[in-house]
């Protein structure tokens, strides 16, 4: 069985076709807000109950689940036609299927 394009499902034949691999790294990131100005009221610190609730949630997850929630890498294999379409609109949620390849 040969690899196929993850978008159009066309076979990618080794030695004949070029297979493009796209890697997308998704990770949790928290940007701090702007610095507080004069007269800014600060939020109350978390209560012991809120802190314990967060610790209980973390404690109920295994290490793999925690890491998956924080960072994940997606890999997609593309044929030449889908690669060109991907480069023109990488953020497109839906892509038209490329024309079938004729051999």
**Domain extents in the chain:** 1-27+63-92
- What does each of the 103 residues of the chain score in pLDDT, given as a tens digit? 778 999 999 999 999 999 999 998 888 877 777 777 777 777 778 888 988 988 888 888 888 877 777 888 889 999 999 999 999 888 775 454 444 333 3
pLDDT attached to residue 1: 72
Q: Tally the C-alpha atoms within 13 A of residue 56's C-alpha that lie toward its C-beta.
A: 6
**Exposed (0-12), middle (13-18) or buried (19+): which is 7, by Cβ within 10 Å?**
buried
pLDDT attached to residue 61: 81
pLDDT attached to residue 93: 52
pLDDT attached to residue 98: 43
């Amino acid at each position: 069985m040969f690899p196929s394009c993850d978008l159009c499902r066309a076979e990618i034949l080794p030695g004949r076709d070029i297979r493009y691999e796209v890697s997308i790294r998704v990770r949790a990131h928290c940007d701090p807000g702007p610095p507080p100005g004069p007269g800014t009221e600060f939020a109350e610190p978390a209560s012991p109950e809120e802190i314990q609730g967060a610790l209980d949630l973390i404690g109920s997850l295994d290490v793999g689940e925690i890491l998956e929630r924080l960072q994940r890498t997606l890999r997609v294999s593309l044929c030449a036609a889908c690669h060109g379409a991907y480069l023109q609109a990488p953020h497109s949620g839906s892509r038209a299927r490329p024309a079938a390849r004729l051999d």
